[in-house]
Structure 1
Amino acid sequence: MVAAAGWVQPETRTEQIENLVSGVDRYNPNNVGILEDYLYRQIRTEEYDCLANLAILKLYQFNPDLYNPDVVINILIKALTSSPFPDFNLCISLLDQRPTIQNTDEPDPLPTLLPILTTLHNLLQQCRFPAFWALYRSENAESLRDNYTVECVGFEDAVRRVVVHAVVGAFRRISSERLASYLHLDVEDVPEYVQKLGWTVDAGGVISLPSNPDNQPVSTVVQENVQLSQLTKIISHAQTA
Structure 2
Amino acid sequence: MTTQPIPAGSRPEHIDAYLSGLDRYNPETVSTFQDYVQLQCENQTYDAMSNLALLKLYQFNPHLTRDETITNILVKALLVFPSPDFSLCLHLLPPNVLDANTATDDLSAAVRKLCVLNELIESASYREFWTAYESDDLYADLVADCAGFEETMRDAIALQISMIAREVKKDFVQGSLNVNDDNLTPLLQRYGWTVEGDMIKIPINKENEAKTMVFRESVAFNQFQGVVRRGFEQAA
Q: Could you say which TM-score interval applies, normalised by the shorter chain?
A: 0.7 to 0.9
Change (3 A) 1:23 1:190: same
Task: Give the CA deviation at 1:222.
Answer: 6.7
What are the residue-to-residue correspondences of 1:97-112 with 2, within 5 Å?
97=95, 108-112=105-109
- State the alpha-carbon separation in 2 of the partners of residues 64 and 165 from structure 1: 38
Change (3 A) 1:60 1:207: same
Deviation track 1:9-47 (CA, whole Å, cap 9, x = no partner) reads 472x21111112222111110110011011111112212
Task: Give the CA deviation at 1:221.
Answer: 6.7
Matched to 1:173, the amino acid is E
Segments of structure 1 that go 5 or more residues without pairing to the other structure are: 101-106
SS of residue in 1 equivalent to 2:144: helix
- State the alpha-carbon separation in 2 of the partners of residues 15 and 223 from structure 1: 50
What are the residue-to-residue correspondences of 1:102-181 with 2, within 5 Å?
108-139=105-136, 142-145=137-140, 147-181=141-175
Deviation track 1:146-190 (CA, whole Å, cap 9, x = no partner) reads x22123111111111220121011111122221011001112321
TM-score w.r.t. structure 2 length? Answer: 0.82
Change (3 A) 1:114 1:179: same
Deviation track 1:119-145 (CA, whole Å, cap 9, x = no partner) reads 211211111100110111113xx2231
- State the alpha-carbon separation in 1 of the partners of residues 228 and 130 from structure 2: 58
- Residue 93 of structure 2 corresponds to 95
Change (3 A) 1:22 1:99: farther
- State the alpha-carbon separation in 2 of the partners of residues 33 and 63 from structure 1: 12
Stretches of 4+ aligned residues off by more than 3 angstroms: 6-10, 96-100, 217-227, 229-234
Matched to 2:181, the amino acid is V
Greater RCO, CA 8 A, separation 6+: 2
Is contact 2:110–2:142 with CA below 8 Å preserved after alignment?
Answer: no
What are the residue-to-residue correspondences of 1:1-241 with 2, within 5 Å?
7=6, 9=8, 11=10, 13-97=11-95, 108-139=105-136, 142-145=137-140, 147-202=141-196, 204-218=197-211, 220=213
Task: Give the CA deviation at 1:193.
Answer: 0.6
SS of residue in 1 equivalent to 2:46: coil
- State the alpha-carbon separation in 2 of the partners of residues 165 and 36 from structure 1: 30
- Residue 101 of structure 2 corresponds to none
Aligned positions, number = 225
SS of residue in 2 equivalent to 1:32: helix
TM-score w.r.t. structure 1 length? Answer: 0.80
Matched to 1:144, the amino acid is Y
- State the alpha-carbon separation in 1 of the partners of residues 16 and 166 from structure 2: 41
What is the CA RMSD across the aligned residues, in angstroms?
A: 3.0
Change (3 A) 1:148 1:167: same
- State the alpha-carbon separation in 2 of the partners of residues 176 and 72 from structure 1: 37
- State the alpha-carbon separation in 2 of the partners of residues 81 and 184 from structure 1: 16
Matched to 1:89, the amino acid is S
Identity between Structure 1 and Structure 2 (%): 32
Is contact 1:81–1:162 with CA below 8 Å preserved after alignment?
Answer: yes
Task: Give the CA deviation at 1:80.
Answer: 0.4
- Residue 104 of structure 1 corresponds to none
